[in-house]
A = this chain, B = another copy of it.
Amino acid sequence: MSTSPKKHDVFQAIADPTRREILKLLAGRELAVTEIAERFPMSRTAVSKHLLILDEAGLVQSRKTGREKRYTLQAEPLSELEQWLSYFEQFWQNKMSMLKHLAERKEN
């Protein structure tokens, strides 16, 4: 299998506010499906679907431990977004945030 065409890309994945919340939740820790679903006013199944979409976009990783499936953040694919964004920074109205961003980046 070469480059299998992903059904969901990063841009689509983060378009949904619930999925963005899930990503923040998973930032720095590993959580099981139920633990994640507890935080949302929707069914576990719905959350599970969101996790699947995030997985397709490569934004989460999962690992089975016993009967649980535990998810972790995989932030790296967000670099695609960052790269896309960087093109537009020169068109910013707010020069300050642009300069700040540039300065922060200098340390790399």
Contacts and interface: CB of A to CB of B under 8 A. Distances in A.
Contact of A92 (B79, B91, B102, B105): B79
Contacts of A76: 92-94
A18 B73 CA distance: 28
A12 to B, nearest CB: 5
Chain A at the B interface: SS class: helix
Nearest to A13: B15
B73 A94 contact: no
How many A residues are at the interface, by size bracket? 35 or more
Contacts of A82: 85, 89, 97, 101
Given A85-B82, A87-B24, A75 B93 contact: yes
A75 B88 contact: yes
19 contacts: A11-B14, A11-B17, A20-B84, A24-B87, A27-B87, A28-B105, A29-B105, A73-B91, A75-B92, A75-B93, A76-B94, A78-B85, A78-B88, A79-B92, A79-B97, A81-B81, A82-B97, A85-B85, A93-B108
